[in-house]
Amino acid sequence: MNTGEGLLKNLVYLENSIDGSNAGGNLHIDYNNFPSGSTAIVDSGNHIVGTYNERFINNNLYKHNSWNQSSQDYYLKRTVYIENNVEQIANFSKLESVTVRNKIDGMNFNDGLPISFNDPWYLKDQYGNQSGMGDFIAFPSPYYPTGAYNQTTGGVFLNQDFRVPNQPYYSVKADYLQTFNLSQTGRTHRFYFQGWSASPQGSAEFQNANAFETPVVFKQANATVQAKYY
């Protein structure tokens, strides 16, 4: 209890974790830096708690997924009310490579036309800001999700199911019309959206494969999600 000699102090254990083991790196409370595995002493009240590590490369690529095994608590930094001795564990999960692309007139090629993708965990800038839900970013097709603005490799988390309440999930969005010049004909053609498909079959699942915008669950590594145009 506070006796007037100052606010109640609390111990906060901080860790970046991969499969239950300390991954190293650094975390922060109110921008005071602590190595992973440290214990901080803070006053009761609101504190900004986060990790400085968006990813680790340890044989495989691991990206920050959630805090304290709570799937809805997925931002790199957030405000937390602390009033007892607690743990703040940043959990990192494996990324798998996938492709999001247009499939025009039954053909897969590097058309460079836009295709939109919402990755809630996507790191948008150097300040730790993330996309969150519903923030679609248009990329040239084919797009290989990287998870961050300054990365050339990356991927997605598998089995992020849109049916799980409060759990973040991936979404794709296509334009109704794409205009493209085909070298085979030397003319510009208009192609209309016909739906979504996954290759290999069953490697991804859509909430509504006929909708321009739909949640998608990646079920296996190297899946290709395609917006079909004819």
pLDDT of the residue at 199:
97
Beta strands in the chain (DSSP E): 9-18, 21-22, 26-29, 32-35, 38-43, 45-51, 55-58, 60-67, 77-82, 86-94, 99-104, 114-118, 137-140, 170-173, 177-182, 187-199, 204-206, 213-218, 224-229
| Residue 111 Cα distances to 64, 108, 174, 181, angstroms | 32, 8, 14, 9
**How far apart, in whole angstroms, are the C-alpha atoms of residue 215 and residue 3?**
52
Q: What is the CA radius of gyration of the chain?
A: 21
If pLDDT is split at 50, 70 and 90, which confidence band does 133 have?
very high
Global pTM value: 0.92
Residue 99, pLDDT above cutoff 70? yes
Which pLDDT band, with edges at 50, 70 and 90, does 1 fall under? Answer: very low
Domain ranges of the chain: 9-94, 99-229
d(Cα 145, Cα 99) in Å, to the nearest integer? 7
Please give the Cα distance from 114 to 123 (Å, whole number).
20
Given a cut of 70, is residue 211 above it in pLDDT? Answer: yes
Q: In terms of Cα–Cα distance, which of 36, 35, 8 is closest to 22?
A: 36
Give the residue with greater pLDDT, 104 vs 75: 75
- Within 8 A by CB and 6+ apart from 3, the residues are none
Of the candidate CATH numbers 2.60.40, 1.20.1530, 3.30.390, 2.60.120, the domain formed by 9-94 belongs to 2.60.40
Say what percent of the chain tops pLDDT 90: 86
